[in-house]
Structure 1
Amino acid sequence: MNNGFTTVIGFTMRNKFRSKSFIITTVILAILVVVGGNLPYLINKLGGSGDKVTNVGYVQNAQGSVIDGLKAYYGKLPEANIKLMANSSEEKLKESLEAGEIKGYLIFEEDAVMGFPKVTFNSESAFSGGTSSSLKVALQQVKTDLVVKDAGLTDEQKLQLFSPISFDTAQVSFTNDAGKTEQEQGIAIGLTYVMLILLFMSVMISGQLIATEITAEKSSRVMEIIVTSVSPLKQMWGKIIGTFVVSVVQLVVLVGALVVNLQLPHNKDALAGFGINLSGIEPQLIVYAVFFYLAGFFLYATLFAAVGSIVSRTEDLGQAVMPITMLTLAGFYIAMYGLNDPNAAFIQVCQYIPFFAPFILFLRIGLVEPAWWEIAVSIGILIATILAIGWLSAKIYRAGVLMYGKRPSMKELFKAMKAYKV
């Protein structure tokens, strides 16, 4: 009895592993993962916070006190990222900008009301990023210095006035003595984001593979031969399990490549510079990630298998699976929205919708601390839905693989299920 089931699993796995598209896709994704794994190092090197100085020009003898204040401000920094360069006129500054000698230049306009000139930073792009932000902070500091210069403040008072406040964030835990620190929350957000993307990609890719293979077998009439040797139920679950094993192998390769790259010395140092320590990942979060990955995969895989069984032509498959694709996309994008506000009422409602729960509930577990009963109710609904969908999909599959021609309506499908006593 089990021989047919294991045969389908083995056949599905061999087909996928030998497929050129599978091999090429895995290699491309692995390369992207390796590049992504080295991003902390590349950002640290190419982002160059302190080893690259930006030249900024200004007209000589313009606003001497402001320019002196800017030079003093950047001179006090341990790693100044802006160097001020004087020129005789705005026309000369434009020439220097065009020649690439400066990134931009400052123009001052008197403002008698404010007592501080209006400043315009001219560059080749209106979006100057860090340069304009740095100049804005520096000019604000210069303005403050000029205003309090004659106020008679002592050096100690000036130090207290200009010293930044100490401000940290921490999560309140209602079940443990201490909640997550800001660093732990950052790690949890990163893991949650990666998990959501992996689940979304796995569901979309593997689900499409299952549906496409079933439809292709029907359209080529191979299905008529297969059903004489293996029961439809064994076929469906054999294809789902076989595709699942292939997906897990692919996932292990990709995650393994990512973890190995992140553990390389240059990446570990870069991550440490960003305040990220991978050893801070909670084991409980890993367990939830595995569970929701399995739940999401089997929930959607059975749906894709059922839809694939009622389509006789591969040309019609895209339209047939569109509702399932939209459900997957909705769950993913709702989760992306929830990254900003995981306690929003809309997000809390969506965690009980089984088609969204693998995305949303894992998101909330990773970022906040939902009550135990919320987790229990959501997981209970999810498991019950997987069993119900699996049972219904099996019935649809057993009837659908024997129906050819145009895609049957729900009424025709139920009649067939009744006729075939499935």
Structure 2
Amino acid sequence: MSDDERSGAFDHLFTAAVRDGLGEEGYGSWRSIDEPDAVSLSFGFPYPESFPHDELVAAAEAVFEEERDTALQYGGGDYADRLVEVVAERERDRGIDCGTENVLLTNGATHAIDVVCHTFLERGDEVFVEAPTFMGTLKLLGNYGVEITGFGNDADGLRVDAVADELERREEAGETPPKLLYTIPTFQNPTGTTLSRERRERLLDLAEAHDFVIVEDDAYGALRYHGEDLPPLAALDESGRVVRTNTFSKTIAPGVRSGWVLADEEILEEVTRMRAGGANTFTQGVLGRYCTEGPFEENVAELRGRYAERRDHMLDRLEEHMPPGTDWTEPDGGFFVWVTLPEGIDTDELLPRAAEEGVTYLPGEQFFPDDRGEDCLRLSFSHVSHEEMERGIEALARATRSRMAEH
């Protein structure tokens, strides 16, 4: 509905945060960036063949056969309880000292982040983020009426030195630190970069010294294609200041809408209270059966190989086709490549031309809490075939060159 079509009859009943955002696009609006005849390199969707259809069908049938009506009750059955144990075990495998008492299952990672925000944030609070960062979280934070301050990334992830300088400046000026710092330290969305171990340790020291909580979003951490694993922030945390969120969307399927929060027991107790129910225990039961008695780990290992091929293909095509002056990241995992176009090209203005040439992407400005990113864009290699990727990169190169010729 356009602003001209709105009556505004109910505006006075909305929350202050809703009134502040009247007329703005909501969460998920970026999915409307599409062109039927263009290759979509926009979205971080898993490729269709990655879904374990047969295994999930078998798991659902087993849940129905063994648990019957119990599986459909509010609390679910034993298989739903198993999923909490699966999550805790996988997190321990990542070096995190935790048990089932530290895990809360949610309806996906965004629900996990939302309930954490609901637990900590009040209108007027401040959150530090990477800039760029996941645009979905920026939209979500806007719902809480908070101030968002973004800090740049480089090849080693978040510029923790810039965070430290700002915290020191505030301390000297008698100003308050943020309440939360939200970060995607491993295969960051949208840049694909990974926070170095040295920076991880310093960030934890800053959280302790300046009394804020770190929200660690690790949606892509299981999908490393090159290099050595780094410990999650939660594995290095000794004071309980890291609240960790994760999801099965990238390792099983987005449609299962299952994620989790992992946190110190004292924090998790309040997060659980704020969640106010709503867990999909039937889906959790199916996933509990699949993860404990199906080929879950084998399938994840295969995904790493398949996504590595896609990543390498995109990087090769960018090298082959993009004009001089274009830069891009080379991620060791995850789904995304962050591209910086030659100076003077606005990727939001370029998008219609690119769509006409045969490709869509997400413009960089969507990933910033402020007016940055106009020369950047995010490409996803996770969903399309090699042939589609080839056509898409060629179309992006044509659109970029035609725009450069006009300068």
Using the size of structure 2 for normalisation, the TM-score is: 0.23
Using the size of structure 1 for normalisation, the TM-score is: 0.22
| Rg (Cα) greater in structure | 1
Which has a greater percent of helix?
1
Q: Relative contact order (alpha carbons < 8 A, sep ≥ 6): 1 or 2 greater? A: 2
